[in-house]
Amino acid sequence: NAGVTQTPKFRILKIGQSMTLQCAQDMNHNYMYWYRQDPGMGLKLIYYSVGAGITDKGEVPNGYNVSRSTTEDFPLRLELAAPSQTSVYFCASSYSIGGAGELFFGEGSRLTVL
């Protein structure tokens, strides 16, 4: 049972570099999300998607981009990395059956921007 898989688990970037965090789920969930978790803080929603080809901004989208070409994959692109993007990033997915569908999380990607 793979669930939600994120890669890489760790990455160090220099200021101004770009990278893509990969996320894949094998549960056929229509909803997918990207969150960031800063030390001692809760989770902030970056972007989410309600299905292939449909994405929308969350609370903190600046400096990030996403795409959703398939149901399974939801990559997060960081352009021109800044120290403020140092964080742990979590991808998650969910199904929607009334109110019952919960979030399933990946193990996280720890990003440091120096």
Partner 1 sequence: GDSVTQMEGPVTLSEEAFLTINCTYTATGYPSLFWYVQYPGEGLQLLLKATKADDKGSNKGFEATYRKETTSFHLEKGSVQVSDSAVYFCALKGGFNKFYFGSGTKLNVKP
Structure-block tokens of residue 10: 């760790």
50 near partner 1, judged by CB under 8 A: yes
Q: How far is the CB of 93 from partner 1 (least distance, A)?
A: 11
Handedness of CA 19, 66, 53, 9 (dihedral sign): positive
> Nearer Cβ to partner 1, position 65 or 95?
95
Distance CA(48)–CA(66), nearest Å, equals 8
Distance (Å, whole) CA 85 – CA 101 = 29
Residue 75 lies near partner 1 (rule: CB under 8 A):
no
Residue among 43, 65, 72, 86 that touches partner 1 (CB under 8 A): 43
- If one asks whether residue 7 binds partner 1 (CB under 8 A), the answer comes out as no
